[in-house]
Amino acid sequence: MQTWLKPRAAMQQVDILLFDHFSALCLANTVEPMRAANNLAGRALYRWRFLTVTGASATSSSGMRVEADGALADHRGDMLIAMPSYHYAAHAVPPTLRALRAAATRYDMLAGFDTGSWLLAAAGLLDGYRATIHWEEMSRFEEAFPEVEAQRQRHVTDRNRLTCSGALAAFDLMAALIGARHGHALRLELEALFMNADTAAPRDLPQPRGKTVARAVALMQANLESPLTIEEIARQLGRSRRSLESRMSQELGAGPQAVYKRLRLIKARKLVRESDLAVAEIALRSGYHDPGAMTRAFRAEFGETPRQMRREAG
């Protein structure tokens, strides 16, 4: 099952440090990719908690109240994400900065989302690191923290420090992290689920020549019902099949045949869940002339047959 994933990696504990006036959109764009990755993988890849410095609840800029799972000092994990968003400077007080410095000894990675970079920098935790922040605050950030190499990027990863420039960039960074850890093919499916505008061309893939792979995936997505041969896709791209296979394996962790098969099965799963079409019709719309072959591939990929999935969903 789930041959789409990289070899099994340990579940990660991600803790999100909230402050009053945090952005609910930034929080959703951080948590939802992890929730969706767990669902798509069929197992727990991520677990998350909501923390505050004191353990009290936090209220978002829109008035949404989140009950904390505890105080920062009482927890440890794989990654801590500081998320103050608005009025961030008011939170850069000695107790908070001390708590962040202490947390740096208990977490493998520290992240600042939106304006969280300011708090990490104020605590001295970004000295000598590359980092970004919400672009409206970039000039102030550069002036206040000359020891930090500020970069006007959507998100920046430098060793065990991660920063992003805003709520929408939080989704981009989480998708990139999920792809790097569990396979860029899972990231592709994740972005398709959320209708990311760049689904056909995932950003920040490890290979810089991503345009060929993006165009190949776009061709596949446009020809799910009547699949093209890999040779034809390569020909339309002006590449050899061997070159396409090499590039796709490097960037998505799977060859073109496996990627194409997965995209067709994703369509089949969508039709199983969201339509009343017969399995034979779903097979045809997913590029399978033999319903039995589609059912076998479906079960191998998702761990159950289309009928079983439909019964459970009903």
- Any idea what the CATH number is for the domain that residue 21 is in? 3.40.50.880
Distances (CA, A) of 225 to 222, 288, 309: 8, 8, 21
Task: Fill in the DSSP letter of residue 137.
Answer: G
Residue 209 shares a structural domain with residue 176:
no
Q: What is the largest CA-CA distance in the chain?
A: 66
Residue 132 shares a structural domain with residue 275:
no
Dihedral angle, C-alpha 141, 145, 149, 150, nearest 10 °: 0
Q: Is residue 55 part of a domain?
A: yes
CB 149 within 8 A of CB 129: yes
Number of domains into which the chain is organized: 2
Report the pLDDT value the prediction gives residue 7, as an integer from 0 to 100: 54
Q: Is residue 53 part of a domain?
A: yes
- Segment 65-73 shows an average pLDDT of 96
Residue 105 shares a structural domain with residue 172:
yes
Q: Is residue 185 part of a domain?
A: no
- Segment 168-180 shows an average pLDDT of 89
Report the pLDDT value the prediction gives residue 24, as an integer from 0 to 100: 94
pLDDT tens-place string over residues 130-139 = 999 988 788 8
pTM as predicted: 0.67
- Segment 288-300 shows an average pLDDT of 92
Query: Which H/E stretch holds residue 248?
Result: helix 241-252
pLDDT for 209 beyond 50: no
Distance separating alpha carbons of residues 120 and 79, to the nearest angstrom: 13
Number of helices (H), then strands (E), in the chain: 13, 11
pLDDT for 93 beyond 90: yes
Report the pLDDT value the prediction gives residue 8, as an integer from 0 to 100: 63
Last residue of a domain, one of 137, 163, 180: 180
Q: Is residue 57 part of a domain?
A: yes
Residue 24 shares a structural domain with residue 138:
yes
Residue 289 token pair: 């002339």
Residue 236 shares a structural domain with residue 174:
no
Residue 124's domain spans which residues? 12-180
Residue 227 shares a structural domain with residue 305:
yes
* Packed helices 184-193 and 256-274: angle between N→C axes, nearest 10 degrees: 30
Handedness of CA 131, 137, 138, 140 (dihedral sign): negative
* CA angle 117–210–214, rounded 5-degree value: 110
Q: Which residues 6+ apart lie within 8 Å of 301 measured at CB?
A: 1, 2, 3, 4, 262, 265
Report the pLDDT value the prediction gives residue 146, as an integer from 0 to 100: 95
Residue 93 shares a structural domain with residue 35:
yes
pLDDT tens-place string over residues 103-128 = 999 999 999 999 999 999 999 999 99
Residue 226 shares a structural domain with residue 310:
yes
Higher-pLDDT residue of 85 and 128 is 128
Q: What are phi and psi of 287, to 5 degrees?
A: 85, 15
pLDDT tens-place string over residues 138-165 = 888 999 999 999 998 889 999 999 999 8
Distance separating alpha carbons of residues 295 and 310, to the nearest angstrom: 13
pLDDT class for 198, splitting at 50, 70, 90? very low
Query: Which H/E stretch holds residue 211?
Result: helix 210-222
The full length of the chain comes to 314
Residue 157 shares a structural domain with residue 243:
no
Residue 219 shares a structural domain with residue 175:
no
Higher-pLDDT residue of 211 and 264 is 264
**Residue 58 forms beta bridges with which residues?**
66
- Segment 208-231 shows an average pLDDT of 82
pLDDT class for 48, splitting at 50, 70, 90? very high
Q: What is the CATH number of the domain that holds 295?
A: 1.10.10.60
Q: Is residue 84 part of a domain?
A: yes
DSSP string, 40-92: HHTS-SEEEEEEESSS--EEBTTS-EE--SEEGGG--EEEEEEE--TTGGGG-
Report the pLDDT value the prediction gives residue 215, as an integer from 0 to 100: 85
- Segment 262-283 shows an average pLDDT of 88
Residue 238 shares a structural domain with residue 147:
no
Distance separating alpha carbons of residues 191 and 299, to the nearest angstrom: 23
Residue 46 shares a structural domain with residue 171:
yes
Burial of residue 279, with CB atoms counted within 10 A of its CB: 0-12 exposed, 13-18 middle, 19 or more buried: buried
